[in-house]
Structures are given as structure tokens and as C-alpha cells.
């Protein structure tokens, strides 16, 4: 996907009070930095931030950190936060591959993965956010009772994700569905992302899984 270059994006993200700079220096100190012992939940590939901000507004007793690699995308979330600030939301502009350098073991309570890049070519499988490589990274930062929640509209990526978890000696599937919006249990309290609303309106089924150790 080609991203549009936005000239002011780098500077805005670098100077925003909502964006935490040099996150590797915060490892093991996130509760102190965020000013509470509340659980920390993260969304990887948060896009424009709709999902994360609505979740944070509904759960003020949880600290949310949105991770987005591209400043041109993160800019939109920053602009939303400037209009409606939330004390329990912060952003990181970084690569998810660096997670073990950013968070200490057990420092994160939940990980959300929503409509991430499917990397359809087989040679790029390890880049998928549900690959065994990334599952190992999540294992290094999640609390013992932590979990992963993953949503996608891509059936191939979902099948791959199920296989990666089912073949893992560490992870187990707690629940999954091939049609989230018609699943009365997993759809309860569901918050849609921008992509989810778009794909759902096109008639595409939404897939979801929940995994824990």
C-alpha cells in the first residue's frame, strides 16, 4: 500500500504530547510514566485511532497505547486526540518488531491486532503480525493472564493465524468466529474500526480470534 506523504506529519508526531518519544528508554517503567498502576493494553497498527479511542473512553481505568509505524497515518489519530483528549491514551510511532525492546516481561495486559497487512506472499509470512515470530514477541511482553484479540476480513490470513496458534506450544485458542457480526457472544461490546465498518458494509464477513497462553 502506497501511503500519501504529509509534510507536517513527522514534526507533528515528534512534538505531540500524546506521542511518547524514545520508547525503548521506557522499558519496565511504563506504569510510572503513565502515572498509575492500571493495566496497559496496546493496539498494534492502530491506524487513525477510532477503535483505540472509543475503547479508552469506555474503560478509563485502563491505559491504552496505540502503535503505528507511519507518521502520515498516526497524524490523523493525533488530530482526533487534540479535539477530544483522553488521559488514558498515548501513541508510539515505531515498528512492532521492536516490542521486546520497549516493554518488559509482563508489562502488557492485552494486545489488539485489527485488520493488519496480510502480507500475502509466502516469503513474507514472517512479517504477518500473527506469525510465530510475532507470537514469540508477544509472549515476551504479555502478563501471564494476558491475551491477544485479532480481527481481519482476510480469510487466508485468518486461516494462517489459526494454524500458527494451534501449532504453538505456548498459545491456545480461547475462541474464534468466521462471522463476528452474527456471533452473539463474540460480537457483544464489539467496537468497529474504520476498516471493519467499510468491509462489513460491503458484505464481507469479519473474522475474530482470542488467544492466550
Catalytic residues: 117
C-alpha cell at 152: 481481519
Separation between Cα atoms, residue 106 and residue 183, nearest integer Å: 31
The tally of CA atoms less than 13 A away on the side-chain side of residue 47 is 15
Please give the grid coordinates belonging to residue 197: 465498518
Is 80:148 a contact under the CB 8 Å cutoff? no
Contacts of 42 (CB under 8 A, 6+ apart): 64, 65, 66, 67, 103, 108, 110, 111, 112
Q: d(Cα 74, Cα 93) in Å, to the nearest integer?
A: 7
Q: Are 3 and 71 in contact (CB under 8 A)?
A: no
Residues 212 and 13: their CA atoms lie apart, in Å, by 33
Rg (CA), the chain: 17
Q: How many CB atoms lie within 10 A of CB 210?
A: 15
Amino acid at each position: 500500500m502506497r501511503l500519501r506523504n504529509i509534510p507536517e506529519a513527522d514534526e507533528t508526531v515528534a512534538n505531540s504530547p500524546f506521542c511518547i518519544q524514545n520508547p525503548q528508554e521506557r522499558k519496565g517503567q511504563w506504569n510510572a510514566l503513565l502515572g498509575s498502576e492500571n493495566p496497559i493494553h496496546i493496539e498494534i497498527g492502530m491506524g487513525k485511532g477510532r477503535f483505540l479511542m472509543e475503547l479508552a473512553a469506555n474503560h478509563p481505568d485502563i491505559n491504552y497505547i496505540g502503535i503505528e509505524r507511519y507518521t502520515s497515518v498516526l497524524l490523523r489519530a493525533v488530530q482526533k486526540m487534540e479535539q477530544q483528549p483522553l488521559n488514558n491514551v498515548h501513541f508510539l510511532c515505531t515498528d512492532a518488531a521492536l516490542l521486546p525492546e520497549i516493554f518488559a516481561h509482563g508489562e502488557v495486559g492485552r494486545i489488539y491486532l485489527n485488520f493488519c497487512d496480510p502480507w500475502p506472499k509466502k516469503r513474507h509470512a514472517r512479517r504477518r503480525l500473527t506469525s510465530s515470530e510475532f507470537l514469540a514477541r508477544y509472549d515476551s511482553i504479555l502478563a501471564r493472564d494476558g491475551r491477544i484479540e485479532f480481527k481481519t476480513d482476510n480469510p487466508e490470513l485468518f486461516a494462517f493465524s489459526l494454524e500458527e496458534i494451534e501449532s504453538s506450544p505456548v498459545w491456545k485458542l480461547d475462541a474464534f468466529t468466521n462471522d463476528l457480526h452474527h456471533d452473539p457472544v463474540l460480537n457483544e461490546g464489539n467496537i468497529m474500526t474504520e476498516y471493519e465498518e467499510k468491509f462489513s458494509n460491503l458484505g464481507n464477513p469479519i473474522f475474530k480470534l482470542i488467544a492466550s497462553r
